Amino acid sequence: MTDLKMESVSNAADRPVRRAGLGGLIERVGTHNFSLLMALAALIAIFGSLRPDVFFLLRNILNIGQAIAILGILATAQTIVIISGGLDISVGAMVGLSTVCIALAVGWTGSPTLSILFGVAVGAIAGLVNGLIITVGRINAVIATLGTMAVFRGVAFIISNGQSISIFDPAFRFIGDGKILGVPVTILVLVIVVVIFFVLMRYTVTGRNIYAIGGNPVVARLAGLNVRAYQIGIYTLSGATAGLAGMLLAARTGSGQPISGSEGLELEAITAAVLGGCALTGGKGTIIGGLLGVLIIGILDNGLILTSVPTFFQMVAKGVLLIAAVIIAEQQARRYG
Amino acid sequence: MSQIDSTGRRGEAPRRNPGDRGESGGARAREAAPALAALGVSKRFGVVRALDDVTVAVRAGEVLALVGENGAGKSTLVRLFEGVYRPDQGTLAAGGVQHALRSPADAHALGIRVIHQEPDIIPDLSIAENLFLGDFRRIHGVFLDRADLARRTRSMLAEFGLENDLSPWTRAGDLSPAQRQLMEIMRALRRGLKVLALDEPTSSLTEDEAQRLFRVVRRLRDDGVGVIYISHRMREVRDLADRIAVLRDGRLVDERPTPKFPETEIVQAMVGRPIADLYERRARRPGEIALSVQGLTTKRVHDISFDVRSGEVVGLGGLMGAGRSELAEAIFGHDRALAGSVAVDGRPVRLRSPADAIAAGIGFAPEDRKSQALLLLRSVKDNISLAIPDLISRLNFVNDGDERRIAAALVDRLRIRTPSLDASVSNLSGGNQQKVVLGRWLARRPKVLILDEPTRGVDVGAKAEIYRLIAELAAEGIALLVISSEMPELLGLADRILVMAGGRVVAEMPREQASEERILSLAMADNLTKSTTAQ
């Protein structure tokens, strides 16, 4: 008895010391990404040992890559939004809207380039609307984008008449299924977007300022930053990125769909970002972390399919994963808060 | 200590003579044990000694006023009585019995109630529901007895003479600040009120409302309630209190019956301490006018005009809530100006946001470092370079070398003690955090620097360094506006002192003509009366 008690007391006294030793932002980001890599390795080991015949095939790896391309783009954009202290729940709806607009534009113009630009522009405008509602209307981002989610979804149904609109254009087939030097185009698009976002957040003043705004908007304003302009820009970027994701989805499915394929993407994107180390309070998170979060989700999905886990159980697994991630994040925040 | 023991402990001090205050002694009978007493209590927060061996007592049926400068320990003492804090040393006693007040619920059970400046109410419930929450009577054990609730509420309102003004079903959120306070007092009265503490109750009241509150307080006293009254307003204190206790730097320095405690002596007791030799004073030769403020008006400050010359330190004194921080925020473009103008080096500044002020050469270190100045998740380097994106980047890309060089030079110059440039700023001490904030602005080479409470929460060593730095910056020709609630600091640093009260500048004086007593009486000359003392 006595021994046990003594030990617990000395442990309690030790802990703050260890915490202080671990302190420092760089170490923190490092430890989080490190634990994500460990989780990734664990998943690979589990599914690799259960289905060694298929899991490590190049075909399967490219499959995973293609499957996560759209989510990866959305999740890294969502990471930026969350770092800035916001949240964008309307991305899935913006993706759906953009696929419909692209499909219609292909019909009108016959030009894939113009159609893609149109789709991205529609996404950007939708994002701009979000940004204006949040900053000028001074409405909480969750509420604002929850509202616009329904609006964008509704607009997509209206202009498509609720129908799927087929796209017959070789350019889209190439984007959806084609490869450049053996790498699927969708994966290339993902890589380009992630690299741009990574550089933006890591090496530019703009990225620094986004962290500052998310960390404390009052401090940012008193240091001379135009907080509103940044917020409007970030939501516009999120919308434009959703438009780009819409291009990939339209190319993969060969059609514009008001809802199918884009439903629920927002929650998966938020899941990945939080898994990747974003604090929903803002100011914290990394693009690499967000990407690792997407990889974990993608490999989990793929592995559960390969090991023939029924679909409904897959949903349960993903939900459990999100909650586990939030618990871990909360504990870290408390430890270092 | 000794003079306190005689009055505080067992009520053997001479009873207040009922004749000299014009009020009846009423039901003030039980003098045996004080209604509430603190016996030798001490309380520390980190390195700050908020209370140091304080013994003070309030008897049933008297009003005890607690006065002292900001940070003297009044609020901490009240929080001990309220059960929010617990003393590190010493004990609390209610009615002569020792009690460890572990929570506000313990205090409430003993009949101790504190009315804060901002009473806790549930704005969307009615007065009746707020008053009797947790004590609703029911019909058949299920349905709320609204008639009974209304009856009980009306009788309470009647006691306070409010039955014609307010319905029991008035939404609490629609009440004026004064009515909310009265509602809090009513709520306290419901369960055997023995001690009532009021923390700056009149700060948001009109003259009429304050008078009504005083009538209520006097009646409670006559009914045998012990009242602790905290206020900065000298006239109120002297009107209302039977005894006055003065706190300074966490110690009880004097305590006397009101008639034996003239106002001048109260003020002296509040401020009377030697000014440490912290302030390096050189003869300064202020240059041209660097900052010129003309008729600046916002929602919270009114018609402010003054100049600060380059190389000059202007101090801004006044009590908490006098509008000093609000003035700083207005000059810095954080709060919108309704009228007036600001000019830097003779050029008018369009103030739509802090970015405009920064572009014009103004820097601002706000009062609350943690919520207004520092990015606690970021490094020392990132915090220093936050306001100089233009100096550390090319085509939007951060030049890491430039950034480190600038940050390292400032860490050196300001002697910021940090493990590295990349250490999180949240791990630094208060003094070093403040230096990081100063570093941010020095990196911009400002013409005007506004410092709001630059040494709050800073230990003495770092304080001296910050004072020396302020002197250095003035010598380099920066115009400084320093807000401080610490009188010695204000007198030690400033060449010229402005005193604010009620959102206005009420006085301006060169340092040679300033004294702690003078500043304090000017700052306390409240709206109720033009104070006649210390002119």
If DSSP codes are grouped into helix, strand and coil, which group holds residue A200? helix
- Residue of B332, B355, B378 lying closest to A211 (CB–CB): B378
Q: Is the pLDDT of residue A114 over 90?
A: yes
The hierarchical CATH code for the domain B297-524 is 3.40.50.300
Confidence of residue A127 (pLDDT cuts 50, 70, 90): very high
List pLDDT tens digits, range B470-522. 999 999 999 999 999 888 889 889 999 999 998 999 999 998 899 888 888 88
Q: What integer pLDDT is reported at residue B32 of this predicted model?
A: 60
CB B444 within 8 A of CB B392: no
Q: Do residues B314 and B483 lie in contact, with contact meaning Cβ atoms separated by under 8 Å?
A: no
Q: Give percent of chain A with pLDDT exceeding 90.
A: 71
Q: What is the pLDDT of residues B67-81, one digit of tens each?
A: 887 668 888 899 899
Alpha-helical regions (H) of B308-429 = 324-331, 354-359, 380-384, 400-413
Q: What is the pTM of this model?
A: 0.72
Answer whether residue B533 shows pLDDT above 50. Answer: no
Say which residues have a Cβ less than 8 Å from residue B384's Cβ, sequence separation at least 6: B406, B407, B410, B411, B436, B439, B440, B443
Summarize pLDDT for B446-477 with one digit per residue, the tens. Answer: 999 999 999 887 766 677 789 889 999 999 99
The CATH classification number of B2-121+192-271 equals 3.40.50.300
With contacts defined as CB-CB under 8 Å, which chain A residues touch B334?
Answer: 221-222
Q: List CB contacts (< 8 A) between B362 and chain A.
A: none
Q: What is the mean pLDDT of residues B287-295?
A: 95
Q: How confident is the model at residue B8 (pLDDT cuts 50, 70, 90)?
A: very low
Mean pLDDT, residues B265-277: 66
Q: What is the H or E stretch that residue B508 is in?
A: strand B504-510
Predicted confidence band of residue B181 (pLDDT cuts 50, 70, 90): confident
Mean pLDDT for chain B? 84
Supply the mean pLDDT for chain A: 87
- The answer to whether residue A5 scores a pLDDT higher than 50 is no
Report the pLDDT value the prediction gives residue B240, as an integer from 0 to 100. 92
pLDDT band at B281 (very low <50, low <70, confident <90, very high): low
**pLDDT at site B366:** 94
DSSP-derived pairing of the beta strands B226-230 and B195-199: parallel
pLDDT digits (tens, 9 = 90+) for A179-191: 999 999 999 999 9
Q: What is the mean pLDDT of residues B154-183?
A: 85
Amino acid at the residue B206: T
Contact yes or no for A25 and B396 at CB 8 A:
no
Which range among A138-152, B86-100, B146-160 has the greatest average pLDDT? A138-152
Report the pLDDT value the prediction gives residue B532, as an integer from 0 to 100.
37
Q: Is B315 exposed, middle or buried (CB count within 10 Å of its CB: 0-12, 13-18, 19+)?
A: buried
- Residue A1 in tokens: 């008895």
Q: Is the pLDDT of residue B221 over 60?
A: yes
pLDDT tens by residue, B361-395: 999 999 988 899 999 999 999 999 999 999 999 99
pLDDT digits (tens, 9 = 90+) for B301-324: 999 999 999 999 999 998 878 899
Q: Which residue has the higher pLDDT, A109 or A16?
A: A109
> What number is the average pLDDT over the span B80-95?
90
Q: Is the pLDDT of residue A117 over 90?
A: yes
- Chain B residues closer than 8 Å to A208 by CB: 382, 386, 389, 398
Q: CATH 3.40.50.300 region(s) of chain B?
A: 2-121+192-271, 297-524
pLDDT of residue B36: 93
Q: Which residues contact B320 (CB under 8 A, 6 or more apart)?
A: B70, B485
- Per-residue pLDDT, A327: 77
The H or E element spanning position A185 is helix A185-203
Contacts of A218 in chain B (CB under 8 A): 371-372
Q: How far apart are CA A269 and CA A289, in angstroms?
A: 12
Residue B195 to residue B227: CA distance in whole angstroms:
6
Under the banding of pLDDT at 50, 70 and 90, the label for residue A332 is low
Q: Which helix (H) or strand (E) holds B153?
A: helix B146-159
- Show which residues on chain A lie within 8 Å of chain B, measured between beta carbons: 20, 23-26, 203-206, 208-209, 211-212, 215-216, 218-226, 283-284
pLDDT at A121: 98
Show the tokens assigned to B63: 């009003």
